[in-house]
Amino acid sequence: MELEGVLAELRGSFESGRTRSLSWRQSQLRALSDILHKEEEGIFRVLKADLGKHQAEAYLHEVGSSIKSLNHAIKNVKRWMAPTKAVVPMVAFPTSAEVLPEPLGVVLIFSCWNFPIGLSLEPLIGAISAGNAVVLKPSELAPASSNFLANNISKYLDNKAIKVIEGGPDVGEQLLEHKWDKIFFTGSPRVGRIVMTAAAKHLTPVVLELGGKCPAIFDSLSSSRDRKMAVERVVGGKWGPCSGQTCIAIDYLLVEEKFAPILVDLLKETIRRFFVRPDYISRIINRQNFERLSNLLKDPSVAASIVHGGSLDSEKLSIEPTILIDPPLDAEIMTEEIFGPLLPIITLKKIEESIEFIRARPKPLVIYGFTNDEKLKRRIIAETSSGAVVFNDAIIQYLLETIPFGGVGQSGFGQYHGKFSFDIFSHGKAVAGRTFLIEFSFRYPPWNERKLQLMRSIYHFDYIGFLLCFLGFK
Amino acid sequence: MDYGEKPAAMDGGEFDGERAAEMEAEMREIFRSGKTRSLEWRAAQLKGLVRMIEEKEADIMAALDADLAKPPFESYLHEVSLVKSSCTFALKELKHWMKPEKVPASITTFPSTAEIVSEPLGVVLIISAWNYPFLLSLSPVIGAIAAGNAVVLKPSEVAPATSSLFARILPDYIDNSCIRVVEGSIPETTALLEQKWDKIFYTGNGKVGRIVMAAAAKHLTPVTLELGGKSPVVVDSNINVKVAAKRIAVGKWGCNNGQACIAPDYIITTKSFAPILVDSLKRTLEKFYGKDASESKDLSRIVNANHFKRLTSLLDDEKVSGKIVHGGQRDEKRLYIAPTLLLDVPHDSLIMKEEIFGPLLPIITVDKVEDSFDLINSKTKPLAAYLFTKDKKLEEKFVNTVSAGGMLINDIALHLANHYLPFGGVGESGFGSYHGKFSFDAFSHKKAVLSRGFFGEARARYPPYTPRKQKLVRQLLNGSIIAMFFALLGWPRSG
C-alpha cells in the first residue's frame, strides 16, 4: 500500500473513535505482552543476529523490562485516563473544572538499533495507553529486529490502527513529509534536528530522546566492600548493556589521581571475572561503527593512554573492553559520545573538581555518582544539570516507572516511562463548566466605576468589600 | 511581526545577531553563577512585578489605551489584575513548587530512594503578542522567573506603547542583569532566534510559530507555541438565551473587540433556534454598546490599518456580504468596525477558513445540534471550544468527542482565569501549556534522582550468566519479593 493509503487508514481508525476505549487500549497492551511471552525465543534470536546480544542481557534490558512496563500500563491505564479534578477559585466562578487527557491522534515513533525491541516497545506502550493510532519505524540498522516487529505487531495487534513501517533514511524522510500529531524520536542529535525541522512545518510537537557523554563520578570509597560493589556496577553499567552502545551507558569516569590505580586494578579484575566467555558481551552493530570506534583509538596520544584491552576483531566486529587513563581532553574520544566499549578515566586532584568538569560540557542524559559523601551528592544535584542523576548504581533507573526518563539540553527533551509515557502522548484538555443559575451583571458593559470597584474587590480577595459593593449595587 | 509593521526605534543602534549573541553570553554567565536559582531571588523578582503593577497601574492602562483603545475596565480585568493575581499566586506557591517530589521506588531497585527535582532550564526567550500585550508578556515571564531562569522578553512591536513601557519601567523593578527586554520587529526577532536558548515560548500565529520552531530545531531547543484558531461556540436551544447571549457578547466584543485568541470565532446553532439567538444577541449588543456602537467607549478599536483591511476584506467577500444581519458599519479613520453578526455564511468563504480575530461573528446553522461536533472536528483543532446547553448527555458527548486546547460549558473565556487549569493549544492551536504551576513546569526540567547505597545487590544481573541467575532476573522484574530477598543476600554467588 502507498504511504498515503496507510496514513488514511490510520486516520480513519483514529477518527472512528475505536482507539479511545479502555478495552481497545488494554487489548493492544495485552497483545504486546503476548508477543513478549510467546515469541521470546524469536526475540532472543533476532537480538543475537543483530547485535550478538546474549539472551540473559536481552531478557534483562529488552524483554523483561518491557513486560514490567506493560504490566504497569495494563494495571494503571484506567486510572490514567480518568480526568483530574481542579480547584475552582472564587474569581473564576465556574462550578466545575477538570483536566481530561485525550489522545493526540496519529503518532510516529522512530526507534533505534541498540535496544531495537525495548526502545520500540517502551514508547509504543505510551502511545497505545493514551489511545493513539501509531506508526513505528524501527531502525534499519537492526534488520532482524525490525523485521520481527513488522511481522509480529501486524499479527498480534490491530493492524488498522498500529503499523510498523520498515526502511532506511529515505523512508524516514517520506514519513516526515506527512502531518503527525506527535513525533517521538530516539537517536542522535544530528537526526533529531532534522526531525524537529520537519515537524515545524506541521506544528507537530516532538520528543527527542538523544544521548550525550554520561559521566560517572567515582569517589575514593574507603570500604573495600563498597568499592567492589561499585566497580561491579560500573562494569555492569558500561559493558553489560549492549557493550556500551547505550544512551545511558557510562561514557567516562572521573576519579582522584591517587585512587585511579586502585580503581583500574579493580576494573580489570572485575572484567576478567564477568566476561569469561566472549558471547557475554554484545558486538558492535556494524562496520561503520566499528571503524568509528577504532578511529577513536588511532590517535597516538589516545593509543598511548590505553591501560587495558584495546584489541579489535574486525571479522567478528568485536572490541575488547578497553580502559584508558587521561586521554587528551580535546581528542575525539573525549569530545564525542563514545557509544561503545571504550572507557576513558579522567583523573582529578580532588573529586569536587568533577562538578566544574561536567558543567563545562553539554548537559548529559545521566550523571552517575559513586560516593557515600552526602555533601558531594547534594552539590551534584544542585550544581549540575542532566536528564537524571543516579547515585551508586547505573542503568537500573531505566526500570523505574515512577521517575521520568529523558534528556535536557543536548540530550533532548520530553520525558517518558510509566505515566509520563501516557502524558507525553496525551493532550491534557482543560474542561470547565458553569450553569445559568448565578449571574453577576457587573461583568457586562456598559462599564462604570462601580463595576470596576466590584472587580477590584474580587481580585483583592476582599469578599466583604465585594459583598457590600454588590448589595449596594443591587 | 505580524502583517509587516514598521520596526520600533531601538536605543543605542541596531540590535543585530552580534549584539544578540553578546547579550545571550552575558546572561548565560550570570545564570551559571547560580544567582537566579535561589528562592530569595525568584521571590524578589515577583514582588518587584507586583510593586510595579501597583505603582504604575495608570501608565499601564494608558499604554493599553494608546495601543488598542482598550476600555479601562477591560485593561484592569484582563491584563492588570490577571498578571497581579498570577504573581501573588506564584509567590504563595513558589516554595512548594520548588520542593523535590519524593516518589516511590520499586522493588526491582530496592533498596533505593527516588525523587524528581525541578531545575531551571537556563536562559529562555519569550516572544509575546500585541492583543493582550501586558498579560501575554508577563504571564510567561512569571513562570520563567518562578522556575529560576534568566529571561529575555521580546514584546510585540504592534503594540508599541506597551513594548516601550516594558523597556522603560521593568528595569526599575526587577534584576536587569538576568531579565531583559528587547524591543523590535522582524530583524531583531531574527537576531534573537539565531542564538541558542534553553527554551522558547512564543505567543502568536501559526505562520511565525513554524519559523520559531524551525529556528529552535537548529539548537535542539524545546518550544511552547501558544497559537490561536477558530474557536467555535455551539448553542443548544434548551438554554436561557438571555444569559447565553450576554456571556457570548462579553466574551466576543468585551474581550478586546474579538481580537483575542480564545474569543468565539463562530457560532453553530440549529436552524430553528438561529433567529431567536440572533434577536437576543442584537438586543444584548444594544444594551451593552447603545444604539450606535461607534459612540461607545467600551469597545477596543482594531489594532492597526493592516488588520482593519484584513477584516473588511473578510466582509467584502461576495460570498458573505449579503449575509450580514447586524452591524457591518466601518470607519477607517477611527479603525472602527461595528460588532457584526452574519447568518449562514458558506463554509468555503474566507471568513470561515481563517481565524477572524476581530468583531465579526458568523453563525452557522445545522439541522440537529449534534451535527456541529463533526463540523468542528472536520476543521483544525481550536484553542477553545464552547457549548451552551442544559443537556448533560450532550455536554458529555461534546467533552468526549471534540478536541480543543480547552473547553468551557455555558460561558466564554473564564477558564483562562483559573490558575489550576492548564492553558494551551493542541494541533494547529499549538502545544505546551501554562498558567499557575503549569507555567513553572513549562520552564523547568524535571530531573530524576535515584539514590542507592551499597547494601543489597542483585548479582544476578551480571555475567557470567547462569540459568539460575536468569530465573532470578525474571522474578525480580516481575516484582517478586522473595526474589528480592535472595538478591539482597547476594544470591546466587556463582562467578
Same domain, B462 and B419: no
Amino acid present at B343: L
Encode pLDDT of A263-319 as tens digits.
999 999 999 999 999 899 999 999 999 999 999 999 999 999 999 999 999 999 999
Residue B60, amino acid: I
Q: Which of B85, B121, B401 sits opposite A91 (nearest CB)?
A: B85
Distance, CA of A328 to CA of A306 (rounded, Å): 12
Helix (H, G, I), strand (E, B) or coil at A239: coil
Give the model's pLDDT for residue B93. 97
Does a cis peptide bond (omega within 30 degrees of 0) precede residue A446? Answer: yes
The H or E element containing residue B83 is: helix B81-98
B61 and B180 housed in the same domain: yes
Q: What is the mean pLDDT of each run of 10 residues along chain B (495 residues)?
A: 40 82 96 96 98 97 96 93 94 97 78 92 98 98 98 98 98 97 97 98 97 98 96 97 96 96 97 98 97 94 96 94 95 96 96 96 97 95 97 96 96 89 96 97 97 80 86 80 65 52
Burial A52-77 (b: 16+ CB within 10 A, else e): bbbbbbbbbbbbbbbbbbbbbbbeeb
Residue B268 backbone phi and psi in degrees, to 5: -120, 125
Q: Establish if B279 touches chain A: CB-CB under 8 angstroms.
A: no
Domain identity same for B70 and B155: yes
Which one-letter DSSP state was computed for residue A431? E
For residues B307 and B343, membership in a common domain is answered with yes
* Global ipTM: 0.95
Q: Which residues make Cβ contacts (< 8 Å) with residue A39, sequence separation at least 6?
A: A148, A152
CB–CB contact A229 B209 (8 Å): no
Transcribe A175-191 into DSSP letters.
HHHS--SEEEEES-HHH
Shortest Cα–Cα distance, A301 to chain B (Å): 32
Residue B117 contacts A where some CB pair is shorter than 8 Å: yes
3-state secondary structure (DSSP) of residue A265: helix
Specify whether B183 is located in the same domain as B275.
Answer: no
B164 and B308 part of one domain: no
CA distances from B364 to A174, B17, B239, B325 (A): 38, 48, 18, 13
Cβ atoms of residues A329 and A346 within 8 Å: yes
Q: Do both B272 and B328 map to the same domain? A: yes
pLDDT for position B2? 42
Q: Does B474 touch chain A (CB under 8 A)?
A: yes
Give me the mean pLDDT over the A338-364 stretch. Answer: 97
User: Which residues 37-56 on chain A approach chain B with CB closer than 8 angstroms?
Assistant: 54-56
Q: Which of A39, A62, A209, A401 does the annotation list as catalytic? A: A209
Q: Residue B417: its pLDDT value, please?
A: 84
Q: Strand, coil or helix: what is A346?
A: strand
β-strand partners of A18: none
Q: Do residues B80 and B60 lie in contact, with contact meaning Cβ atoms separated by under 8 Å?
A: yes
**Same domain (yes/no): B295, B222:** no
d(CA A275, CA A55): 14
CATH number of the domain within which B119 lies: 3.40.605.10
Q: Looking at residue A94, what is its pLDDT? A: 56
Set of chain B residues whose Cβ sits within 8 Å of the Cβ of A388: 447-450
pLDDT recorded at residue A2: 86
What residue ranges do the domains of chain A occupy? 3-82+100-210+416-428, 215-406, 439-471
Provide the grid cell at B242: 438571555
Average pLDDT, stretch A44-70?
95
Question: Does residue B211 sit within a domain?
Answer: yes
Q: What is the pLDDT of residue A70?
A: 97
Choose among B268, B256, B266: nearest CA to B365. B268
A6 CB burial (10 A radius; 0-12, 13-18, 19+) = middle
Decide if B453 is inside a domain.
Answer: no
- B429 in a structural domain: no
Residue B494 covered by a domain: no
Report the number of distinct structural domains present in chain B: 3
Q: Could you say which residues from 426 to 465 on chain B have a Cβ atom under 8 Å away from some Cβ of chain A?
A: 426-428, 430-433, 445-454, 457, 459, 461-465
CATH code of the domain containing B401: 3.40.309.10
Verify that B46 and B193 share a domain, yes or no.
Answer: yes
The alpha carbon of residue A369 is apart from the nearest alpha carbon of chain B, in Å, by 9
One-letter amino acid at A296 equals L
Burial class (CB in 10 A: 0-12, 13-18, 19+), B381: buried
d(C-alpha B70, C-alpha B256), whole Å: 7
The class of domain A215-406 in CATH terms is alpha beta
Please state the φ and ψ torsions of residue A361, each to the nearest 5 degrees. -120, 165
**Which residue of A lies nearest to B419 if distances are taken between CA atoms?**
A89
Q: How far apart are CA A435 and CA A284, in angstroms?
A: 64
What is the per-residue pLDDT for A282?
Answer: 95
Do B222 and B236 lie in a common domain?
no
Phi, psi of B460 (to 5 degrees): -60, -20
What is the arithmetic mean of pLDDT over A231-257?
A: 95
Average pLDDT of the segment spanning A137-148:
98
Q: Is A278 on the interface with B (CB under 8 A)?
A: no
- Please give the C-alpha separations between residue B300 and each of A383, B246, B359, B457, B489, in angstroms, as whole numbers: 49, 18, 10, 69, 74
**pLDDT exceeds 90 at position A114:** yes
Put simply, whether the predicted model's pTM sits higher than 0.90 gets the answer yes
In chain A, what is the greatest distance between 2 CA atoms, to the nearest angstrom?
92
From CA A322, how far away is CA A271, in angstroms rounded?
Answer: 10
Contact indicator for A127, A98 with CB cutoff of 8 Å:
no
Q: In which domain, by residue range, is B299 found?
A: 232-424
Pick the CATH number of A3-82+100-210+416-428 from 3.50.50.60, 3.40.605.10, 1.10.580.10, 3.40.50.300: 3.40.605.10
Residues B348, B278, single domain; the answer is yes
The count of other CB atoms within 10 Å of the CB of residue B238 is 12
Which distant-in-sequence residues (6+ apart) come within 8 Å of A244 by Cβ? Answer: A238, A250, A338, A339, A340, A341, A342, A343
Q: Judge if A3-82+100-210+416-428 and A215-406 fold alike in CATH terms.
A: no
The reply to whether B478 and B405 lie within a common domain is no
Catalytic site residue A209?
yes
Which pLDDT belongs to residue B495?
A: 37
Q: For residue B451, is it within any domain?
A: no
**Residue B255 annotated in active site:** no
Check: CB of residue A401 under 8 Å from CB of residue A422.
no
